[in-house]
């Protein structure tokens, strides 16, 4: 009986292809949006976990914050971190943690006639002990090179490809702004992360960056690596206290710097992803509701058009339950088809977006199955009233219908 109802439902849908497709648009769009959001959100969360594992959950970051000028409240000032802050922090807490620093800007990097815009990052001696970098070839900057402000650099994979193509860049001298640097290492492809494209980096000694590129002893960040995850919170408090002392911030005054840890960054990123997913998910749910209303409308039209058919079926023995099941099956099959099309479309959209964002494509099979079931349920819920209306038709009145 059920298979016969499905066959009749498919035949009815096939007779009205364009009308059925237009009816399903709401369901297709809603399901596609939900699937795409869940898949992209899952990929982004995997990216967060991977970045946290790659950069270390014990990292603490100190960087300049924005503060209003008391003399001119409308003006917002940024008090940069300097080498003095780095040295004093190293003296006060260096025995408890590893401390490094970085400064950065964006410049054109060139080799002969080839050039590209790259993120130039000046790094201190301990930088490479805090950040995990995998080399494709060559080596990292040595402590002696960093300490002596040597004209050497390590470049990302996109920089190497843009400047050298398939050639080996090791030993070549490239121009970074004004200074020339000898390439000593090429990083393995790492892709984009929440801190930017890691493949367009050029790492140089911090002293070289400050003397030949920025002309200032300012730092973008000071990085502190806690000995264990249990010590991250107390060390973060200690760093903040030390920074307040070094920057002579009076009690009760707002900090003109920020101290965060990697776990906090990841929580914030996860919260943002969750909030955006929830908002867009609500919009997708509205689309599903509209799709359900569309199915109800088209089923009401179908019942009206097939009133005489219903009367004939009742006259030859069909019960009210049979008519109800037929129209409910037709509505649920119609909605399920829309759901399946939406799932395929949503996965395709997610695949394109995750590839563009360089995050993992992680389809949630449980969610896919649940959404397929929800699609069928939408048909049952919104098709129930039209089906009940058809089942309650008087056979004699139905046979008279023209």
Asked whether residue 9 carries a pLDDT value surpassing 60, the answer given is: no
Q: What is residue 115's predicted lDDT score, i.e. its pLDDT?
A: 92
- Percent of the chain surpassing pLDDT 70: 86
Work out the average pLDDT over 33-46: 81
Q: What is residue 157's predicted lDDT score, i.e. its pLDDT?
A: 94
Burial label for 124, CB within 10 Å (0-12, 13-18, 19+), is buried
What's the pLDDT band for 368 if we cut at 50, 70, 90? Answer: confident
- Percent of the chain surpassing pLDDT 90: 26
Predicted structure pTM score: 0.66
Q: What is residue 318's predicted lDDT score, i.e. its pLDDT?
A: 74
Asked whether residue 118 carries a pLDDT value surpassing 70, the answer given is: yes
Q: What is residue 16's predicted lDDT score, i.e. its pLDDT?
A: 66
Cβ neighbours around 336 below 10 Å, total: 22
Given a contact cutoff of 8 angstroms between Cβ atoms, the answer to whether 220 and 78 are in contact is no
Question: What span, in angstroms and rounded, lies between the C-alpha atoms of 19 and 301?
Answer: 11
Q: What is the Cα 345 distance to its own chain's centre?
A: 19
**Beta-bridge partners for 66:** 78
Q: What is residue 101's predicted lDDT score, i.e. its pLDDT?
A: 93
Which residue has better confidence, 21 or 93?
93
Q: What is residue 53's predicted lDDT score, i.e. its pLDDT?
A: 62
Q: What is residue 17's predicted lDDT score, i.e. its pLDDT?
A: 66
Given a contact cutoff of 8 angstroms between Cβ atoms, the answer to whether 346 and 287 are in contact is no
Q: What is residue 398's predicted lDDT score, i.e. its pLDDT?
A: 62
Question: What span, in angstroms and rounded, lies between the C-alpha atoms of 152 and 123?
Answer: 12
What's the pLDDT band for 161 if we cut at 50, 70, 90? Answer: very high
Work out the average pLDDT over 200-204: 94
Question: pLDDT averaged over the chain?
Answer: 82
Work out the average pLDDT over 81-96: 88
Asked whether residue 194 carries a pLDDT value surpassing 70, the answer given is: no
Give φ, ψ of 104 to 5 degrees. Answer: -150, 160
Q: What is residue 305's predicted lDDT score, i.e. its pLDDT?
A: 73
Work out the average pLDDT over 114-136: 89
Domain boundaries, the chain: 2-51+267-400, 59-261
Q: What is the pLDDT of residues 264-308, one digit of tens each?
A: 777 777 787 778 778 877 877 787 788 888 888 888 877 777 777
Q: Which of 211-215, 266-270, 301-305, 352-356 has the highest mean pLDDT?
A: 211-215
Q: What is residue 11's predicted lDDT score, i.e. its pLDDT?
A: 66
Q: What is the pLDDT of residues 40-57, one digit of tens each?
A: 877 877 777 776 666 667
Give φ, ψ of 247 to 5 degrees. Answer: -95, 5
Q: Which of 20-29, 85-94, 205-214, 312-321 has the highest mean pLDDT?
A: 205-214
Q: What is residue 158's predicted lDDT score, i.e. its pLDDT?
A: 94
Question: What span, in angstroms and rounded, lies between the C-alpha atoms of 245 and 13?
Answer: 75
Question: What span, in angstroms and rounded, lies between the C-alpha atoms of 35 and 32?
Answer: 5
Asked whether residue 399 carries a pLDDT value surpassing 70, the answer given is: no
Q: What is the pLDDT of residues 49-78, one digit of tens each?
A: 776 666 667 888 888 876 655 655 555 677
Asked whether residue 12 carries a pLDDT value surpassing 70, the answer given is: no
Q: What is the pLDDT of residues 227-275, one digit of tens each?
A: 888 888 888 889 889 888 888 888 888 888 888 887 777 777 778 777 8
């Amino acid at each position: 009986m059920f298979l016969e109802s499905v066959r009749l439902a498919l035949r009815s849908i096939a007779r009205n292809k364009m009308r059925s497709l237009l009816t399903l648009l709401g369901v297709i769009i809603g399901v596609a949006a939900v699937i795409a959001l869940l898949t992209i959100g899952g990929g982004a969360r995997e990216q967060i976990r991977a970045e946290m594992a790659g950069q270390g959950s014990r990292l603490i970051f100190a960087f300049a914050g924005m503060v209003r000028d008391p003399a001119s409240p409308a003006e917002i000032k940024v008090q940069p971190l300097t080498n003095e802050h780095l040295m004093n922090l190293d003296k006060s807490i260096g025995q408890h943690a590893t401390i490094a620093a970085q400064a950065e800007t964006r410049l054109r990097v060139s080799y002969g006639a080839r050039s590209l815009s790259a993120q130039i990052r000046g790094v201190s001696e301990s930088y490479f002990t805090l950040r995990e970098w995998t080399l494709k070839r060559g080596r990292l900057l040595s402590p002696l090179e960093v300490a002596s402000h040597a004209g050497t650099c390590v470049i990302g994979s996109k920089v190497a490809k843009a400047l050298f193509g398939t050639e080996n860049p090791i030993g070549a001298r490239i121009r970074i702004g004004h200074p020339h640097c000898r390439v000593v290492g090429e990083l393995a492809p790492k892709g984009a992360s929440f801190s930017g494209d890691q493949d367009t980096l050029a790492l140089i000694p911090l002293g070289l960056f400050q003397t030949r590129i920025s002309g200032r002893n300012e730092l973008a960040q000071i990085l502190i690596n806690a000995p264990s995850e249990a010590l991250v919170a107390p060390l973060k408090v200690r760093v903040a206290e030390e920074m307040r002392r070094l920057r002579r911030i009076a009690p009760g005054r707002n900090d003109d710097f920020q101290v965060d840890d990697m776990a906090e960054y990841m929580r914030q990123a996860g919260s943002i992803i969750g909030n955006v997913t929830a908002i867009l998910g609500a919009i997708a749910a509205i689309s599903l509701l509209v799709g359900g209303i569309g199915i109800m409308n088209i089923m009401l039209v179908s019942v009206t058009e097939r009133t005489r058919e219903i009367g004939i079926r009742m006259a030859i023995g069909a019960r009210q339950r049979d008519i109800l099941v037929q129209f409910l099956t037709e509505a649920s099959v119609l909605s399920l088809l829309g759901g399946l099309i939406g799932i395929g479309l949503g996965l395709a959209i997610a695949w394109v977006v995750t590839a563009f964002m360089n995050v993992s494509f992680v389809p949630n099979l449980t969610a896919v199955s649940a959404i397929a079931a929800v699609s069928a349920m939408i048909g049952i819920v919104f098709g129930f009233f039209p089906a009940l209306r058809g089942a309650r038709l008087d056979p004699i009145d139905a046979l008279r219908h023209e």
